[in-house]
Amino acid sequence: AQKVTQAQTEISVVEKEDVTLDCVYETRDTTYYLFWYKQPPSGELVFLIRRNSFDEQNEISGRYSWNFQKSTSSFNFTITASQVVDSAVYFCALSEAGRDDKIIFGKGTRLHILP
């Protein structure tokens, strides 16, 4: 069965600190996709990144970076030099091949960036 675990329910850091959001997934498939979405206080869901199971290269986009490690079934998300605008709930998600594009979401990590 597919499952996504975000063990950190809530994190608070002071602005400009780096912060890592953890994501551990379970799947029996060898082909799958992992995602991160951001939900700011305004409520919308914003797509951040997609990573397929065959590509373990780390990704960097500005202050955001993602570390995908199949050996530990983890897809962690790091924000460098955090800003107040990064305050949001962040969701990690998994989609398996042949599952009708169904996405399973983790329970989310609420991130507070304190000024």
Instruction: Tell me which residues touch another protein (CB under 8 A).
Output: 31-33, 35, 37, 39, 43-45, 47, 50, 52, 89, 91, 95, 97, 100-105, 107-108, 110
Which bin fits 101, alpha (ψ -120 to 50), beta or left (φ > 0)?
left
Closer CB to another protein, residue 15 or residue 49?
49
User: How many alpha carbons lie under 13 Å from residue 27 in its C-beta half-sphere?
Assistant: 23
Closer CB to another protein, residue 18 or residue 29?
29
Closer CB to another protein, residue 97 or residue 114?
97
Shortest distance, CB of residue 64 to another protein, whole angstroms?
15
Of 55, 59, 103, 63, whose CA–CA distance to 81 is shortest?
63
Shortest distance, CB of residue 1 to another protein, whole angstroms?
14
Shortest distance, CB of residue 41 to another protein, whole angstroms?
12
Residue 72 phi, psi dihedral angles, 5° rounding: -115, 10
**Which residue type, as a one-letter code, is found at position 6?**
Q
